Amino acid sequence: MKAIIATWSFGLKAVEAGWRILRNGGSALDAVEASIREIENDFSNRSVGLGGYPNIAGFVELDAAIMEGSTLRAGSVAAVRNVQNPISLARKVMEKTPHVMIVGEGATKLAKIFGLYVEKVDLQPEARMEWERRLKTAVSTPQKEGTIEFWLKMAAEGHYNHDTIGCVAMDDNKNIVAGCSTSGYAFKLVGRVGDSPIIGSGLYANSFGGAAATGLGENIMIHNVSRMVVGFMEQGIPADEAAEKTVQHLLKIGRRIDRISFVSLDKDGCFGAGTTEKSFQFAAMSDAFSEPRLLMVEKGVRLSL
Ligand code: ASP
């Protein structure tokens, strides 16, 4: 049973790219990497890849991670600059190093070693304009550059720009892989890292299932959302019910739960998705569907396919 699921409406393009690989007998690992690269390579996207909004200093810093359920291997990079495909760099960390997570300058060095480094990165015109507009507004206030107040002014509402590409796939060998990639919180502080590269928060996979999250990283990482979803699946609960239970559990906790959404997939090829928002869009494809579908789940409601 092959299956693939990805976050947001742009997940449709990701699912199509991943499905081409799964359909031809490729691995879930290749499918997840290809799906995510598809979105990273779209420079019109302001929340994934080098087309994303920059941090407060005007640099795009990217977070990405990948995890293989059958082996429990994982690789992750955080706050990395000058890399077009951080998901591929995360895979290199997993496959070519003894480590799980490499950040900042070290990640950039690895990118050079693996030929994933991009020498010259220009902000996309719209991203630059917005960054300059914020800089101008912040400078014209009494807050001094370099103070936390100045940053708060710069980043105001920046957290509303969110949309990680998160993807979970299963191949014919029942290997489940989860991955995600994002430019994160728009106009964030230099070095801010979200949930996406954190194993258990932004993504998780084992032989029972996988999950990938999106939304406000500062909340997702508090609850280890992806690990929570997979934890339910470990108890034999299917992905859709596991998603519903996760949302119910978050609602019960009731704190730091806004803007949390996720997709999930279990070892039997059942899909799930959950959100603490009003609704959440995602895309999916499996042997059971005739073509990739764009779907939606509502807050606290079990996905019914
Ligand atoms: N979760 C990501 C972060 O906080 C952003 C997102 O999903 O939109 O970095």
- Domain boundaries, given as residue ranges, for the chain: 3-121+158-292, 126-156
- pLDDT of res. 147: 77
- pLDDT of res. 137: 77
Count of residues for the chain?
305
Separation of alpha carbons 266 and 303, rounded Å: 14
- pLDDT of res. 302: 86
Separation of alpha carbons 11 and 79, rounded Å: 23
* 279-301 average pLDDT score: 95
- pLDDT of res. 92: 98
- CB contact set of 231 (below 8 Å; sequence gap of 6+): none
Residue to mutate (ligand 1; options 159, 187, 195, 257; most atoms within 8 A of CB): 195
Residue to mutate (ligand 1; options 216, 218, 221; most atoms within 8 A of CB): 216
Residue to mutate (ligand 1; options 10, 160, 182, 276; most atoms within 8 A of CB): 182
In contact, 284 and 295? CB cutoff 8 Å: yes
> Distances in Å between the alpha carbon of 287 and those of 170, 172, 233, 264, 269?
11, 10, 21, 16, 9
Give the residue from 222, 210, 297 showing the smallest Cα distance to 261. Answer: 297
Separation of alpha carbons 224 and 199, rounded Å: 9
Separation of CA 277 and ligand 1 centre (Å): 14
- pLDDT of res. 158: 61
The CATH superfamily assigned to 3-121+158-292 is (Glycosyl)asparaginase (3.60.20.30)
7, 108, 164, 275: which one is catalytic? Answer: 164
pLDDT of 151 over the 90 cut: no
> Distances in Å between the alpha carbon of 236 and those of 86, 117, 170, 247?
33, 42, 17, 18
164 labelled catalytic = yes
- pLDDT of res. 145: 65
Separation of CA 248 and ligand 1 centre (Å): 21
Across the chain, mean pLDDT equals 94
Q: Which atom of ligand 1 is nearest to the CA of 166?
A: 7
The residue with greater pLDDT, 259 or 142, is 259
The residue with greater pLDDT, 71 or 149, is 71
Q: Which atom of ligand 1 is nearest to the CA of 202?
A: 1
Q: 167-205: per-residue pLDDT in tens?
A: 999 999 999 999 999 999 999 988 999 999 999 999 999
Separation of CA 288 and ligand 1 centre (Å): 30
Separation of alpha carbons 242 and 175, rounded Å: 19
pLDDT of 139 over the 70 cut: no
Q: 263-276: per-residue pLDDT in tens?
A: 999 999 999 999 99
Separation of CA 58 and ligand 1 centre (Å): 18
- pLDDT of res. 300: 84
Pocket, ligand 1, Cβ cutoff 6 A: 47, 162-164, 182, 184-185, 194-196, 214-217, 220
Separation of CA 50 and ligand 1 centre (Å): 15
- pLDDT of res. 135: 83
